[in-house]
Amino acid sequence: MENTDPPAAGLALAILVGDIAEVERLLAEHPGLAAEPIRDRKGGTKTSLHMVTDWPGYFPDGPRIVPILIAAGADPSARTGGWRPETPLHWAASSDDADVAEALIDGGADIEAPGGSIGSPLDNAIGYGCWNVARLLVQRGARVDQLWHAAALGLLDRVEELLGTSPAPEDINEAFWQACHGGQRRAAERLLGAGADLTYHPGYASETPVQVAAAPDTRRSNLVEWLSERAEAPAAN
């Protein structure tokens, strides 16, 4: 983030450290600040809500800050500027920050917003192994219209419905891989019985079904990295 705009830079810092009082002070002193774009070092732009959802997510008091920013004029469906524009919900879906995702949805975020790094927020959530946000999105009305969506989430009735549309072998293989990705044994068994290839992996991943089934999900990987960083940090004097 560039510090050429002191109010925007101050707001970004307050968001990252969870200083709600400072967030509210800046928003009160600078009307419209919540909706202003924040430029990064690469020339792209994001909004204050993107700051709440930026990787790795889980910033202090993020779920409480989201409605404050929306009430001050931040658009919950605003997109980043630059390569593959994404909404704040896309970003929350990519880190499995379900508490912030729920606050965004409550604030009016478009749960079907297209065009993310994988596609919709649900595409991002499933693709990155963010199962808590994926289930939240479905609970809040996101469409499950792809076989790989249903397989990854273990929605067996929907798997059967989509198998009834005579999907291509490639779609069955990808759904099987995603069922393994999501730890969904019954869905995996059904898709294997429908002809899925046990050795298949999609072009965007190198793991076989058995390897991806054993891999940790994004939330757990994120937590392990956070704990490791703190365990390795030198003790304060």
Q: pLDDT (tens digit, 9 = 90+) per residue, 109-118?
A: 999 999 999 9
Distance between CA 90 and CA 204 in Å, rounded? 19
> Mean pLDDT over residues 210-234, rounded?
93
pLDDT over threshold 50, residue 162? yes
The CB-based long-range contact list for 112-119 (8 Å cut-off, 24+ gap) reads 112/142, 112/143, 113/77, 113/87, 113/89, 115/79, 115/84, 115/85, 115/86, 116/84, 116/86, 116/87, 116/90, 117/84, 117/86, 117/90
Q: How many residues does the chain have?
A: 237
pLDDT level of residue 236 (50, 70, 90 thresholds): low
Paired strand residues for 39: 45
Q: pLDDT (tens digit, 9 = 90+) per residue, 4-21?
A: 468 998 999 999 999 999
| pLDDT for residue 1 | 40
What DSSP assignment string belongs to 75-98?
A: -TT---BSSS---HHHHHHHHT-H
pLDDT over threshold 50, residue 3? no
Q: pLDDT (tens digit, 9 = 90+) per residue, 106-145?
A: 999 999 999 999 999 999 999 999 999 999 999 999 999 9
> Mean pLDDT over residues 27-44, rounded?
89
> Mean pLDDT over residues 154-169, rounded?
98
Distance between CA 162 and CA 153 in Å, rounded? 14
pLDDT level of residue 41 (50, 70, 90 thresholds): confident
pLDDT level of residue 42 (50, 70, 90 thresholds): confident
CATH says 144-224 is which class? mainly alpha
pLDDT over threshold 90, residue 185? yes
Distance between CA 3 and CA 228 in Å, rounded? 30
- Please name the amino acid found at residue 49: L
Q: How many CB atoms lie within 10 A of CB 82?
A: 13
> Mean pLDDT over residues 221-230, rounded?
94
pTM of the model: 0.92
Q: If you ran DSSP here, which 8-state letter would residue 45 be given?
A: E
> Mean pLDDT over residues 31-39, rounded?
92
Q: pLDDT (tens digit, 9 = 90+) per residue, 166-180?
A: 999 999 999 999 999
- List CB contacts of 14: < 8 A, sequence separation 6 or more: 20, 22, 23, 26
Domain boundaries, the chain: 144-224
